[in-house]
Amino acid sequence: MPRISYVEPAGDSRDVEVEPGVSVMRAAILNGVEGIIGECGGQAMCATCHVFVERTDGELPEVGDDEEEMLECTADERLENSRLGCQLRAGDHFDELVVRLPERQV
C-alpha cells in the first residue's frame, strides 16, 4: 500500500498508508493531518494544500498550468520543490512520498 510521510514545520513526522489513487491532500484530510486545508476540494483552485516534496520513489507529473498559477498564490514561500497536494496521487505517481508542510496555508 502506498505511504505518505508528512513532516510538520517543527520536524515531527507522521506516516499514512493510503489506497492507490488518493491524493496527498485527500489523505491528509482523511487522516487528520493538520497543515493541509484543501478548501477547493482538490480542484487546483486554492493553494491550501501546498507542500514541499522532499523525497519520492516515483516520477511525479509535470506542474500543469492550473497548478503553476496556484503555486504563485501560496501563503508560504514557493520553493523549487513546491507542489499542490491535490495534484499528486498515490499509486499513480508514487508508492512512497515525503512532503514537508509549510508554516501556513492561508
83 pairs with which residues across the strands? Answer: 51
**Residue 70, H or E segment:** helix 65-71
**Count of CB atoms situated within 10 Å of the CB of 83:** 22
Residues in the chain predicted with pLDDT less than 70, given as ranges, are none
Model pLDDT, residue 33: 97
Centroid of chain to Cα 37: 10
Return the pLDDT at 69: 96
Query: What is the structure's pLDDT at 21?
Result: 96
C-alpha cell at 102: 509549510
Which pLDDT belongs to residue 58? 85
d(CA 62, CA 13): 26
Residue 55: phi, psi to the nearest 5?
-160, 145
Please tell me the distance from the alpha carbon of residue 47 to that of residue 40, in angstroms, as a whole number: 9
Please choose, from the candidates 62, 40, 45, the residue with its C-alpha nearest in 3D space to the C-alpha of residue 53.
Answer: 62
pLDDT attached to residue 97: 97
Residue 23's identity, in one-letter code, is S
